[in-house]
Chains A and B, each alone.
Chain A
């Protein structure tokens, strides 16, 4: 029993080493290993690349949701102007950074999730009939260029409209 437990611990640590040094990046994709590894990952996240986010730390984006209501009323929510998705604290708001990252990079995920967000906005605004959802990337220049006066670069990532009428 003792030997088995030591062997399991060793395999666990070895898996982590192989993953963090990208040993399974391409080897497992599309093979029989894919599902077992995904299962292990959902159990203990040993198949997780802790450094994967390192180059992305400085990336940022703005979400703007515009709600159109009956009587010509229009309300715009922008994350740059303090919109925190109606969360009650910073910890809940931080979760939307992960959400924005997913929607900016995965188009299937985006199509499904933005629809869901629009539905929630329609539920919050009972008389609303249209929701516009737009995301813009915000790229700060590097230190040298910022000092030289270069402006912050923004670009549309995507925008979509949901209308009931």
Chain B
């Protein structure tokens, strides 16, 4: 009997979790954060754009095209299209593609006819990823995942021109709930995987991987050789990293812990940005966590403040 009621209770909880309409505000925050991020990345890329995408890039078109899978769309095909329409040269096509990408990201950022811009943003990024597979790393993967989500999620239901011009309603729906939950669960899985894989490597437990990543010349920002004199610190930092990542999927669902866990994950990514020089990677991971759980944390803090005020009022009243 007890088991039956427990199962029924769990079913109701699960149903509420996935279907009870919640505010679409996190989706608006997610859209603005990711579009602004992609714009920043594009602007930083601009001086080196031709060196990566031009016909005489570090990896020439013939080679990067040959490395592609059959369905990938390469910059060479974009040039073929633009050349047929406007008779552009290779480098002109690459330049036009850049400004088109920047334009669609601005459209996505403003949230005006959002669906069109979100599909185009994802498509442009798909071409970018297909053209330079050898230069792609974590930041591009997470940006691509985000742009895919923006394409299919109702991200114009908050903080958008679509909403201002009444093209959409800000009413919470099952669609906005499902979208936010998918984003949250996906982030939990990402961190669970990253933390769990670290735990499988003995070098993570004794701090050696963290030490090597701080001192190795590819990422080194400041001299960390002194860390060898205090190996316990490298070990503590490693354990901290593994714990924050692995148990993110628990910490983020407990209101009392959520604020501290978010703070922990933000600190971790600030550390990666400052000490490994992976500024954009650190930034996109912070933005993803803020988009998925930032509003929940804000509500937790408001609620905690309210409770504290009520408690103080009751105490002063009874005194």
Does residue B254 face the partner (Cβ distance < 8 Å to A)?
no
CB contact under 8 A between A12 and B71, given known A42-B126, A51-B197 = no
Residues of chain A contacted by B280 (CB below 8 angstroms): 91
- Stretch in B1-9, B140-148, B295-303, B307-315 touching the partner: B140-148
- Other-chain residue from A6, A58, A112 in contact with B209 (beta carbon distance below 8 A): A58
Does residue A151 face the partner (Cβ distance < 8 Å to B)?
no
Q: Is the CB of B47 within 8 A of A88?
A: yes
- Stretch in B23-31, B87-95, B225-233 touching the partner: B225-233
Chain B, residues 44-78, CB within 8 Å of chain A (1/0): the string is 11011001100011111001001101011000000
B115 CB → nearest A CB, Å: 15
Residues of chain A contacted by B36 (CB below 8 angstroms): none
- Stretch in B100-108, B160-168, B186-194, B256-264 touching the partner: B186-194
B226 CB → nearest A CB, Å: 11
Q: Is the CB of B60 within 8 A of A116?
A: yes
How many A-B contacts at CB < 8 Å in the complex? 185
The interface size of chain A toward B, counting residues with CB under 8 Å, comes to 65
Residues of chain B contacted by A42 (CB below 8 angstroms): 69, 71-72, 126, 129-130
Q: Is the CB of A87 within 8 A of B48?
A: yes
Does residue A73 face the partner (Cβ distance < 8 Å to B)?
no
The interface size of chain B toward A, counting residues with CB under 8 Å, comes to 75
Interface SS, A side = helix
B61 CB → nearest A CB, Å: 10
Residues of chain B contacted by A60 (CB below 8 angstroms): 212, 216-219
CB contact under 8 A between A109 and B56, given known A5-B175, A9-B178, A13-B185 = no
In the complex, chain A residues 60-77 whose Cβ is within 8 Å of any chain B Cβ? 60-62
B90 CB → nearest A CB, Å: 14
Complexed CA–CA distance, A146 and B226 (Å): 10
Q: Is the CB of B213 within 8 A of A57?
A: yes
A151 CB → nearest B CB, Å: 13
- Stretch in A25-33, A95-103, A127-135 touching the partner: A95-103
Q: Is the CB of B216 within 8 A of A59?
A: yes
4 closest A-B pairs by beta carbon, nearest first, are: A58-B212, A51-B197, A60-B216, A20-B193
- Contacts A113-B134, A117-B58 known; list 18 others, CB within 8 Å: A9-B182, A13-B189, A20-B189, A20-B193, A21-B193, A38-B69, A42-B71, A44-B148, A45-B145, A46-B145, A57-B213, A58-B211, A79-B217, A85-B51, A94-B137, A98-B136, A116-B58, A144-B231
A/B interface sample: 13 pairs, CB < 8 A: A42-B69, A50-B193, A51-B198, A54-B194, A54-B201, A55-B201, A57-B209, A57-B210, A85-B51, A94-B277, A98-B137, A113-B59, A143-B208
